[in-house]
Amino acid sequence: MPRTPETVYFEGASVFDACILAQFDLCQRLEDLADSLPFKVDTRAAAILAKQLQSTLCRCHRLEETIIFPLLLKKDTKIHTVLDRLRHEHQEDEDHARDIQESIQAFVMAAHKEDAERLGYMLRCMFIPLRRHLAFECDYVMPFLLPTASQ
Ligand SMILES: [Fe+2]
């Protein structure tokens, strides 16, 4: 069965939704870790988060940039400045995630937890702007992929 433009956009919205949910989940896990510092840290969960953080972010960003953004540009070429800003934020988040991954791993391995305050600050500097980015994508970008009431 041929794929209609509506089907393509609906599938794009589903991919985008899955990416957004996966990143909101990362934010919650980063916040849980920050709230558990310094002495209530689930080190196993922290180690898993450190391992998944960058790979999940990169996977979501590549899907957004290679599948979703081209669909959005087909609908409205004026959106390119918004997409450039989102792409820039993706890169910042990936750079930050690399630093956080190393800091979490170091914290988990350390016998003394004197770096807790620094790690907490780094975690909050990751999940607060990431939630803002995701809320923008939900509220402003996602509607471009969905059919309007008049269609
Ligand atoms: Fe994004």
- What tens-digit pLDDT sequence spans the chain (151 residues)? 667 878 888 889 999 999 999 999 999 999 999 999 988 999 999 999 999 999 999 999 999 999 999 999 998 889 999 999 999 999 999 999 999 999 999 998 886 677 899 999 999 999 999 999 999 999 999 998 887 645 5
What distance in Å separates the CA atoms of residue 32 and residue 25, rounded to the nearest whole number?
11
Contact between residue 14 and residue 142 where contact means Cβ atoms under 8 Å apart: no
Q: Per-domain residue ranges for the chain?
A: 5-146
Distance 38 CA to ligand 1 centre (A): 30
Residue 147 CA, ligand 1 centroid: distance in Å: 21
**Which string of DSSP letters, residue by residue, matches 61-79?**
HHHIIIIIHHHHHHH-GGG
Tokens 């791993």: give the residue: 105
Residue 8 near residue 146, CB atoms below 8 Å: no
Res 148: pLDDT: 64
H helix intervals, the chain: 5-36, 43-63, 69-75, 80-109, 116-136, 142-145
Q: 3-class SS at 141?
A: helix
Q: Which two tokens stand for residue 65?
A: 């940039």
Per-residue pLDDT at 9: 86
Q: What pTM was computed for the model?
A: 0.91
> 5-146: which CATH number, 1.20.120, 1.20.1250, 1.10.287, 1.20.1330?
1.20.120
pLDDT the model gives residue 59: 97
The rounded Å distance from CA 107 to ligand 1 centre is: 28
- Which pair of structure tokens corresponds to residue 106? 């170091």
How far is 60 from 55, CA to CA, in rounded Å? 9
d(CA 135, ligand 1 centre) in Å = 10
Compute the distance from residue 1 Cα to the ligand 1 centre, in Å. Answer: 31
Task: Supply the pLDDT for residue 8.
Answer: 85
The one-letter code for the residue type at 133 is H
